[in-house]
């Protein structure tokens, strides 16, 4: 209701015009603030599974799974303060291999729909239902997957339950503290006999006696895991081996 109409209705009903004007102004301001956010939330909730997989809504583009892509995986609390590893890899690609034209893609935290405009990658908003199916589809289609290791349940699933695609992964291990959290987490017991689990356990044991320079970039070389402090070295090896094209 506009202000003139509201005042006229108030006069007919014997109300107080100043109160009516104030209520109309306040409701208009609130609507202007929360309206776009509500529209975005409802659009997000309305996305079908097929659309999420085939189109992957982002704030910037419609990302197709068959594009050249570098998928960035991390627990959501890293999204706003731990992008240094992502930026270092992305800048390395764009500077040294501009012809490859990789798109850097990350899964967005659905609780923070408005926080991504200032960051360096496209963010995909996925439905909360069957999110693992969607993420696995992106892992399958991505050319390169960068994962920040952590003890959160989602990261464990992304890392250990998608081991068939480990040749695509670069695992970023931020610190000895994070490594310790992973090793002592009860969830790790399920995966400690897998190749990456064994490697992390060995790395943890070595760290008890020797100093290790963190952060580390861990990768699969075709037969075993190895670590490096320079992501460029790993990318060079993957390119030479034809893992990236």
pLDDT tens for the chain, 245 residues long, are 678 887 888 888 888 888 888 888 888 888 888 877 776 665 555 444 433 333 444 433 445 544 577 888 888 776 555 556 666 777 777 777 766 667 778 877 766 554 444 455 677 777 777 888 888 988 988 888 989 999 999 999 999 999 999 988 999 998 999 999 999 999 999 999 999 999 999 999 999 999 998 889 999 988 889 888 888 888 888 777 777 76
Enter the tokens of residue 231: 């992501």
CA distance between the termini of the chain: 59
For the beta carbon of residue 150, count every other beta carbon within 10 angstroms.
24
Please tell me the distance from the alpha carbon of residue 76 to that of residue 238, in angstroms, as a whole number: 28
Angstrom distances, CA of residue 63 to CA of 57, 142, 162, 222, 226: 7, 11, 21, 29, 32
Q: Angle at CA 234, nearest 5°, toward 224 and 119?
A: 125
Q: What is the DSSP letter of 65?
A: T
Please tell me the distance from the alpha carbon of residue 88 to that of residue 120, in angstroms, as a whole number: 11
Whether the model clears a pTM of 0.85, i.e. scores above it, the answer is no
Asked if 58 and 124 touch (Cβ cutoff 8 Å), the reply is yes
Asked if 88 and 217 touch (Cβ cutoff 8 Å), the reply is no
């Amino acid at each position: 209701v506009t202000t003139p109409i509201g005042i006229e209705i108030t006069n007919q009903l014997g109300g107080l015009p100043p109160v009516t004007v104030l209520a109309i102004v306040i409701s208009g301001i609130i609507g202007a603030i929360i309206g776009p956010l509500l529209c975005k939330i409802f659009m997000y909730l309305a996305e079908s599974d097929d659309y999420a997989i085939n189109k992957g809504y982002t704030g910037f583009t419609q990302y197709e799974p068959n594009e050249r892509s570098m998928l960035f995986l991390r627990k959501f609390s890293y999204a706003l303060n731990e992008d240094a590893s992502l930026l270092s890899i992305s800048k390395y690609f764009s500077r040294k291999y501009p012809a490859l034209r990789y798109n850097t893609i990350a899964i967005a935290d659905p609780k923070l729909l408005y926080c991504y405009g200032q960051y360096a990658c496209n963010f995909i908003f996925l439905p909360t239902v069957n999110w693992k199916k969607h993420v696995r589809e992106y892992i399958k289609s991505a050319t390169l997957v960068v994962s920040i290791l952590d003890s959160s349940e989602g990261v464990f699933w992304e890392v250990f339950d998608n081991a068939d695609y480990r040749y695509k992964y670069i695992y970023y291990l931020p610190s000895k503290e994070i490594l310790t959290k992973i090793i002592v987490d009860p969830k790790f017991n399920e995966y400690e006999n897998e190749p990456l689990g064994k490697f992390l356990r060995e790395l943890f044991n070595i760290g008890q006696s020797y100093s290790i320079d963190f952060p580390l970039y861990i990768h699969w070389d075709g037969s075993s895991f190895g670590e490096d402090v320079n992501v460029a070295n790993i990318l060079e090896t993957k390119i030479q081996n034809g893992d990236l094209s």
